[in-house]
Amino acid sequence: MFPIGVAALLRAAGSPYDARMNSSPTSSSLHALFNAQHQASRQQIDVPLAVRRDRLLRIKALLDDHGPALAQAVQADFGVRSPQLTEIADLFVLRTLLSHTLKALPKWMKPQKVSTPLYLQPSHAYLQRQPLGVVGVVSPWNYPVQLSLGPVITALAAGNRVMLKPSELTPKTSALLAELIGKAFAADELCVVQGDGELAAEFSGLPFDHLFFTGSTAVGRIVAKAAAANLTPTTLELGGKSPCVIDASCDLNTAAIKIAHGKLLNAGQTCIAPDYVLLPKGKEAAFGDAFANAVAKLFPTIAGNPDYAAIISPRHHERLQAMLAQAEREGARVQVMGEGADAASGEPRQMAPALVFGAQADSRLLAEEIFGPILPVLPYDSLKDAIDYINARPRPLALYWFGTDTASRDQVLAQTVSGGVTVNDTLMHIAHENLPFGGVGESGWGSYHGEAGFLRLSQQKPVLVQSKWAKGDLFYPPYGKRFDQVMGLLRRWL
């Protein structure tokens, strides 16, 4: 359980992820759901492959049968977000995850043999991969289907029971997920709970065997503190300020279209979206022109364009506008591309993309994760200056490098630490199922996707099987000359 005041912090934390909701289940019903899953997980510790596959195939059928309805629910929650965007960014990602997991699951489940040191032979050893038990998943609103069901798929593949708390900022999507999952699964297998900040606080304080949270760094700290009270291990997929480093060897037009796509997908409401650009001093105007051309190609219009997502809520829209206004007041030059919708008049909150040149170092744009279509541009004198700038700040969730000079690329990769990297593109490392995805430091801890996620949500139990020919008694007391001889021999072998 959270200490007094933590639920209010969850509601009020100034982050791109937090929100409010209208209703919540009772405390007793929440605990009853958890207790049912906990009891079921202890009664069936060994979860066979057939059971795991069946659960995954039920998720697959849910997506196949109701994908369009889910996309429409997301559209309704955002105001403007094309079903095609949900298809590629939510549903397609989940389908690839399911396909990869179903194919690899038999191999992942097998006990893993490990080599045995000479002094323990002729025994043998292996790692037995077992379910943890009950996994809690708290998911955000920005990709409300993918970031809800992605961790759920991984947890089910690992043989766990799952409780999902989806975001309150996408109530239609959350309600539809709850309905569909309720029809496809018994509550002690997989269930959805919906509620406000009070519910989120109580949910995070349940004694899960693992708690998976996707959201802001500020709320991640609160969730980690709540989980720590129960010694519940956590995976925290947080945010941060992900840099784009443009090398002197880079073709700006090629980089600009890829940066614009990564930045403006979902109107910048993406945890690994480029958050700022570092480029050689003197190339600011050229990059501004290249970026404007890229935006015009991707989104010929902004207001009324069904391919350009709205900002999720009036509060988040106001936050972004306030950040931009502060930068302008402090002397920054703002380059706006296209005409956004007038949110004040009740139109959808489609905020025009903007580059910001000359933002003050202590401005909100450079201190907070932006989570919107605003991109500060920071010139550097030398590559070392760019690296020093990155390293002086919390470690980012993602880093992007653009150029053709492999020595410069390798210098940046060797001298910075980030959750993940894509070279000469943005976002794409998250789509590679054999690459673990996760943060480092303030951008999170723990990785998932592919086998990394399976192992994160499994217990790798070490097992040593002793041989009847074992000579362990050589190490038993009483110690004497024979013991000294054995130890001397072992020291020579080591």
DSSP string across 309-336: PPPS-HHHHHHHHHHHHHHHHTT-EEEE
Q: In the block, which residue shows the tokens 């995805």? A: 437
Strand order in the sheet with 161-165: 190-192, 161-165, 134-138, 210-214, 234-237, 444-445
Whether omega before 462 lies within 30 degrees of 0, making that bond cis, reads no
Active site residue 237: yes
Of the candidates 127, 178, 181, 193, the one whose C-alpha atom is nearest the C-alpha of residue 156 is 181
Distance CA 132, CA 468 (A): 32
CA atoms within 13 A on the CB side of 66: 18
Please identify which of the residues 189, 237, 369, 442 carries the catalytic annotation: 237
**CB–CB of 263/375 below 8 Å?**
yes
Residues 402 and 404: their CA atoms lie apart, in Å, by 7
- Measured distance CA(63)–CA(434) in Å, rounded: 23
Q: How many residues does the chain have?
A: 494
- The contacts of residue 479 (CB under 8 Å, 6+ apart) are none
**Residue 20 corresponds to which tokens in the numbers above?**
């409010």
Q: Are 124 and 38 a contacting pair, CB within 8 Å?
A: no
DSSP state of 440: -
Instruction: Report the alpha-carbon distance of residue 159 to residue 220 in Å, rounded.
Output: 25
In the chain the first and final C-alpha atoms are separated, in Å, by 49
Say which of 271, 368, 369, 451 is annotated catalytic: 271
Q: How far, in Å, are 53, 123, 410 from residue 355 at the CA level?
A: 47, 64, 28
Q: Which 3 state secondary structure label does DSSP give 192?
A: strand
442 CB-near residues (< 8 Å, 6+ apart): 217, 238, 240, 394, 395
202 counts as catalytic: no
CA distance 313 to 467: 65
SS3 content of the chain, % helix, strand, coil (to 5): 50, 15, 35
Question: 336: how many CB neighbours lie within 10 A of its CB?
Answer: 17
Longest CA span, the chain? 92
The two structure tokens encoding residue 192 = 């959805």
Query: How many whole angstroms separate alpha carbon 142 and alpha carbon 268?
Result: 10
The pairing of beta strand 210-214 with beta strand 398-402: unpaired
Distance of CA 442 to the CA centre of its chain: 13
As annotated, the active-site residues are: 237, 271
